[in-house]
């Protein structure tokens, strides 16, 4: 059986020990056993290493036990046995996809479960423990599993004609219809640098604009430019936090007829979908990014990557695919 699978048998290991102890060269041993010289060299090298409990040297029975243990260990990981699937997963990680997104997209493409997210995570952290550092390919590059600490806080201000989110209809809260938006600013380490993020709640489709500043008039103008070209049925409401940059929100209602709502004080989690989108965009545009040092194409590439990444909440369609489907439906209805 060992020869059928290209693995050394116990009998072969005993012969390797006898010939090696007799002073035969590795190439000579390989010729007598009908094996490659590299196989004999690797066998002697990997199973002769000195450890805390082993003084070193090659012993055939111990070498056989070590080989069987490695085989059992590798069989725990599907990705260790399937190089093609391993490359697919690695390519997905390199694109910034999470294990859940990779597993879901593969299942959608093949019509069946190919690999589970947990299997991917286990393999990643096994390889990281082996000093291959696969965890650095994860979206947040966490060196260990577990939840990060929660972060909070929100600016508070008085805003004219402000309406709380509690007054928004239940239709907007359940995220089944593609006409409710959220907006916020994505800030960076350098003072004054920011990106305005507008996020559609149902499709998770996102639009970003780099702004010169966060003054209220400029913010209202940019949001009008983003939402203005859309049909009325795709922009009924929009939600903000209590930052003063959104103080001119009523201009959106006047020019576009869109209803505006605000989170409760110190409750940014109430517009969680745009907060989540900003967190995902940080993978491509971390806080330390100097926006003056990159061009518009780089910023656009980040949002294109976000909108073309499959999402579990969309049955592993991409936000772009979901929003396009909503637009087609609206076009047919009109």
199 and 61 co-located in one domain: no
Domain assignment of residue 150, yes or no: no
195 and 291 co-located in one domain: yes
Domain assignment of residue 158, yes or no: no
Tokens read off for 19: 């010939």
Q: Strand, helix or coil at 18? A: helix
87 and 230 co-located in one domain: no
223 and 316 co-located in one domain: yes
- The neighbour count for residue 83, using CB atoms within 10 Å, is 9
Residue % of the chain over a pLDDT of 70: 91
250 and 322 co-located in one domain: yes
pLDDT tens by residue, 241-263 = 988 899 999 999 899 999 999 98
pLDDT tens by residue, 283-316 = 999 999 999 999 999 999 999 999 999 999 999 9
CATH number at residue 257: 3.30.420.10
309 and 282 co-located in one domain: yes
71 and 88 co-located in one domain: no
pLDDT at 228: 93
Domain assignment of residue 152, yes or no: no
Examine the pLDDT at 171 and tell me if it is beyond 90: no
Domain assignment of residue 126, yes or no: yes
Q: Which residue, chain included where needed, has tokens 């559609």?
A: 200
Domain assignment of residue 144, yes or no: no
pLDDT at 1: 36
**Ramachandran bin of 123, using left for φ above 0, alpha for ψ from -120 to 50, beta for the remaining angles:** alpha
Rounded to the nearest integer, the mean pLDDT of the chain is 86
35 and 123 co-located in one domain: no
176 and 60 co-located in one domain: no
The secondary structure of residue 295, as a DSSP letter, is -
Tokens read off for 93: 């990680």
172 and 313 co-located in one domain: yes
The stretch 215-226 carries a mean pLDDT of 94
pLDDT band for position 334 (cuts 50, 70, 90): low
104 and 198 co-located in one domain: no
Q: How many Å is the maximal CA-CA distance in the chain?
A: 94
Structural domain count of the chain: 3
Examine the pLDDT at 3 and tell me if it is beyond 60: no
Tell me which of 50, 75, 100 is where a domain ends.
75
Distance CA 91, CA 85 (A): 10
23 is in which domain, residue-wise? 10-75
Tell me which of 55, 75, 95 is where a domain ends.
75
Examine the pLDDT at 223 and tell me if it is beyond 90: yes
Residue % of the chain over a pLDDT of 90: 51
Helix or strand holding residue 181 (H, E): strand 180-187
57 and 206 co-located in one domain: no
| Bigger pLDDT: 113 vs 172 | 113
pLDDT tens by residue, 179-188 = 899 999 999 9
Q: Which residue, chain included where needed, has tokens 């007829």?
A: 257
Tell me which of 90, 118, 137 is where a domain ends.
137
Domain assignment of residue 151, yes or no: no
Domain assignment of residue 155, yes or no: no
Domain assignment of residue 299, yes or no: yes
pTM for this predicted structure: 0.58
Examine the pLDDT at 215 and tell me if it is beyond 60: yes
């Amino acid at each position: 059986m060992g020869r059928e699978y290209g693995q050394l048998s116990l009998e072969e290991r005993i012969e390797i020990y006898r010939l090696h102890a007799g002073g035969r060269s590795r190439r000579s041993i390989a010729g007598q056993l009908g094996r490659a010289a590299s196989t004999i060299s690797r066998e002697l090298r990997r199973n002769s290493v000195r450890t805390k409990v082993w003084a070193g040297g090659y012993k055939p029975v111990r070498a056989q036990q070590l080989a069987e243990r490695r085989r059992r260990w590798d069989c725990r990981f599907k990705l260790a046995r399937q190089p093609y699937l391993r490359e697919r997963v690695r390519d997905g990680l390199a694109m910034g996809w999470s294990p859940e997104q990779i597993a879901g997209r593969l299942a959608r493409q093949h019509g069946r479960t190919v690999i589970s997210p947990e299997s991917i995570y286990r393999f990643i952290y096994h390889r990281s423990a082996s000093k291959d550092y696969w965890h650095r390919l994860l979206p947040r590059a966490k060196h260990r599993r577990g939840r990060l600490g929660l972060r909070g806080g929100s600016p508070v201000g008085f805003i004219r004609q402000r309406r709380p989110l509690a007054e928004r209809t239940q239709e907007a809260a359940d995220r089944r219809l593609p006409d409710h938006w959220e907006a916020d600013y994505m800030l960076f380490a350098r003072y004054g640098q920011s990106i305005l993020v507008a996020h559609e709640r149902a499709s998770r489709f996102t639009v970003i604009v780099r702004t010169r500043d966060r003054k209220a008039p400029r913010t209202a103008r940019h949001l009008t430019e983003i939402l203005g070209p859309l049909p009325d049925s795709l922009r009924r409401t929009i939600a903000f936090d209590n930052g003063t940059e959104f103080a001119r929100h009523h201009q959106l209602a006047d020019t576009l007829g869109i209803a505006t709502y605000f989170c409760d004080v110190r409750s940014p989690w109430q517009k969680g979908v745009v907060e989540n989108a900003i967190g995902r965009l940080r993978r491509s545009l971390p806080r330390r990014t100097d926006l003056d040092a990159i061009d518009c194409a780089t910023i656009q590439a980040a949002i294109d990557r976000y909108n073309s990444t499959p999402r579990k909440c969309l049955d592993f369609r991409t936000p772009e695919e979901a929003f396009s489907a909503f637009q087609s439906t609206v076009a047919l209805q009109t």
